[in-house]
Structure 1
Amino acid sequence: MWSPRNEVMLGCAFQKDGLVIYDVNAIGQEIVADDCNDYWDKDAIPESLFVHSGYKNNILDFDWNSHLTWFLGCSNDRGIISAWIPSKEIVNDEDEPDVNIPDEELEPVDF
């Protein structure tokens, strides 16, 4: 699913693998190992910007927030919904306001 606020960002959900955000502008670019984190490996592709993984159940759906560029949500087949924003080190978008949700407004979920 294409991001509604950034025409070069594509999100793809893979049932048990999680969700991957691709930057299509990076297709064909070279990966520089110094720019990568500890999870980088020789099979990485430059357009793979972010991977949200660790799901124990199948992802059923995901969607981009239409008001905040990097705010996403997904649901799994147990009815658990996750809402998240990639780390600022990954998505450096100066034009987007910070989203701060106070801890007291968050509801803990047992997986």
Structure 2
Amino acid sequence: DVDWHKRDVHLIGSCGDDRTVRLWDVREVNPNKATKTVVDAHDADINSLAFNPVNEFLLVTGSADKTCALWDLRNLKQRLQTLVGHTDQVFRVEWSPFNESVLGSCGADRRTNVWDLSRIGMEQTSEDADDGPPELLFMHGGHTSKVSDFSWNRNDEWTIASVSEDNVLQVWNMAEEIYMLDEDMEAKNDEVDEIEMKKEMDLDDAIMGE
């Protein structure tokens, strides 16, 4: 896989079945010389990589070793974080166009996973922990075959299209309760309650006025 850096017009990233991640500067005189190389970045073939559209130093890779890995371009000697949630090889990774900390991944386990890095390290109940780590925001299991690709909607924040090897395309999104933090959800509910209360008061005033 290859991906252009979202802010540096001269930088390209590549990965492959040699388990290596390479960064290329197109201004380099020697076309065979990578600017930076990460050997054995994963334990199996690396199928996909993507530069974060907001954070210029953040890179994610997806591998046949069933994991996604986060990398800081300023220090590629070790990965920042390993995302564990797939049970088979990861085919594709892609960042959300709206949220710096949100990305998706899909793979041979028939799943499309949505991750939120801002939730890494958050406390979980034992019941929630059984469903995966806190950063695993959502797991779409609607396909019956390997999910070969997916894409974020550039105009609708939480809508995703995914396609599987049984020739089925699905368009789906998540309920607000999934991606909103509890305190944000409570604040929104309070706001809705206030609006409804104001409507009732306005209606009462109108009736009294009659």
Q: 1:32 to 1:55 in 2, by over 3 A?
A: same
1:4 to 64, 72, 97: 97
1:72 match: secondary structure: strand
Q: 1:46 aligns with which of 131, 134, 142?
A: 134
Read off the aligned partner of 1:55 and give its amino acid letter. H
> SS in structure 2 opposite 1:7?
coil
* Bigger share in helix: 2
Residues 1-111 of structure 1: matches in 2 within 5 Å? Answer: 1-32=94-125, 40-42=128-130, 44-92=132-180
What TM-score does the superposition give when structure 1 sets the normalisation length? Answer: 0.70
Report which of the two structures shows the higher radius of gyration computed on alpha carbons. 2
Q: Please, what is the CA RMSD of the aligned residues?
A: 2.1
Question: Does the 8 Å CA contact 1:18/1:52 hold for their aligned counterparts?
Answer: yes
Moved beyond 4 Å, runs of 4+: none
Q: Which has the higher contact order (CA 8 A, sep 6+)?
A: 1
| Total equivalences in the alignment | 89
Q: TM-score, normalised by structure 2?
A: 0.39
2 CA distance for matches of 1:43 and 1:2? Answer: 22
CA–CA distance in 2 between the matches of 1:58 and 1:42?
23
Counterpart contact for 2:107–2:148, Cα < 8 Å: no
**1:9 CA displacement:** 0.5
Query: CA-to-partner distance for each residue in 1:4-57, whole Å, 9 max, x for gaps?
Result: 111111101022241110100011111135xx6xxx453621101100014221
Taking only the aligned residue pairs, the percentage that are identical comes to 30
Distance in 2 (CA, whole Å) between partners of 1:83 and 1:54 is 10
Gaps of 5+ in 1: 95-111
Q: Report the CA distance between 1:77 and its aligned residue.
A: 1.1
Instruction: Show structure 2 runs of 5+ residues with no match.
Output: 1-93, 189-210
